[in-house]
A = this chain, B = another copy of it.
Amino acid sequence: MPETSRVIRKQIGNFLEDFVPGQLFRHKGGKTVTEGLFTTFTEFAMTTNPLAKNARYARAYGFDGLVCPPGLVMLVAFSQTVEDVSENARANLEYVDMRFGAPVYVGDTIEVETKVLEVTGSKSNPKLGVVHVQSTARKNLGAKDEAVVLAWQRKVQVWKRDEAAELHAGKVEPDRVECALWLPPHRASVDYKSMAHLANADTYFEDFEPGTRIEHSRGRTMTSEHIHLTAILDNTSQVHCNQFMIDLDPKQYVGGELIIFGGIPFVLCLGLSCPNVGDNALGDLVYKTGRHTAPLFAGDTVFAATEILGKRDLPDRPDVGVLETRLHGHKFVRALPAPNEAPDASGARSEPQASEAPSGWKKVQIFELDREVVVKRRSHYA
């Protein structure tokens, strides 16, 4: 046996100077959706749409079985791109034009590729810059149900490996990717009314009024479970799971502790909003833009609210309509009380739902998503 004479420290992911406009990443791994993955995330997020919970209902609607909720499709697809695109990112700046296509079922295998659209150095910080990419997720390559399930762009702030390195600055046009939401047809032969009690009765297209803000009633406290949830998604970014790295230099890291992967509040906010906005949705059409506005840590409790921005018809589909919404996620952090402010002593039962910060707390917005949802009309389904 030879002496060990050579030590290799494997480096993972790309740095800013590695990205070239026009370059294509065909991401490693791929991921088959198992019932373990499906249940873990659908239920973690408290999704209530019966399409994701009740196979009898999903089949009656014309799906092949339980339907992956949009947040789970997004998480699986997005996470495939992390190692190549954002393993060495400082921040995920923005989700852009995220469009859904074919439904994803248990057993489907997702594979993803990403094209680099633009590389820009930072003017203020020579160690940083922005990479703008376009990603496409397909399922079941080579099989007869091969289809695009998600197409999106995102902008990521990425570290340079070497501050002095030259960038491949520049820009290419995005590809035109066919990705249109598949919707099951409305069929006169199906007795939809007999299943209407399985979803919330006040979430049909007719029930929403632009200009309304819906404060979702439930909150969910995050725990160290986020480490496992992130690993299940193949997102191996060390800031989510390596406490030792943080302990070595806490000041270097946001909050000085493990930060929760942004995909977790993304899917959780979608789930918290589901009973009020998504219970009678047939699918999410597009997330035009979205961003994380503050970090989330174990111990924080997540709340969500939805603004109804507008409504429109969907061509050739009189049975549904498109709801234009803005989804907000927020949490509360303790604020120092003003000197003469006494704590609330009313003895009233506190409300689980919190839209405004109570005394002694500060409301912090963590997430924002412009979201268009295809919602059933009561006239056709109930």
Contacts and interface: CB of A to CB of B under 8 A. Distances in A.
A199 B200 CA distance: 44
Interface string A283-310: 0000000000000000101010001011
Nearest to A346: B249
Contact of A224 (B1, B209, B211, B224): B224
Interface stretch (A114-122, A164-172, A174-182, A348-356): A348-356
A212 interface: yes
Which bucket holds chain A's interface residue count? Answer: 35 or more
Contact of A211 (B6, B9, B36): B6
Given A39-B36, A107-B55, A332 B244 contact: yes
A8 B213 contact: yes
Given A213-B8, A238-B352, A54 B35 contact: no
A329 interface: no
A31 interface: yes
Copies in the complex: 3
A22 interface: no
A243 to B, nearest CB: 4
Contacts of A31: 53-54
Contact of A301 (B26, B141, B243, B353): B243
Interface in A297-354: 299, 301, 303, 307, 309-310, 331-332, 344, 348-354
A37 B40 CA distance: 8
Contacts of A301: 242-245
Contacts of A70: none
A209 to B, nearest CB: 7
Given A8-B213, A46-B231, A48-B234, 17 more contacts: A8-B214, A8-B215, A12-B217, A12-B218, A26-B198, A29-B54, A30-B50, A32-B66, A35-B36, A43-B231, A56-B141, A218-B236, A220-B227, A243-B301, A245-B354, A248-B344, A249-B349
Q: Which 4 A-B pairs have the closest CB atoms?
A: A36-B39, A244-B301, A30-B54, A238-B352
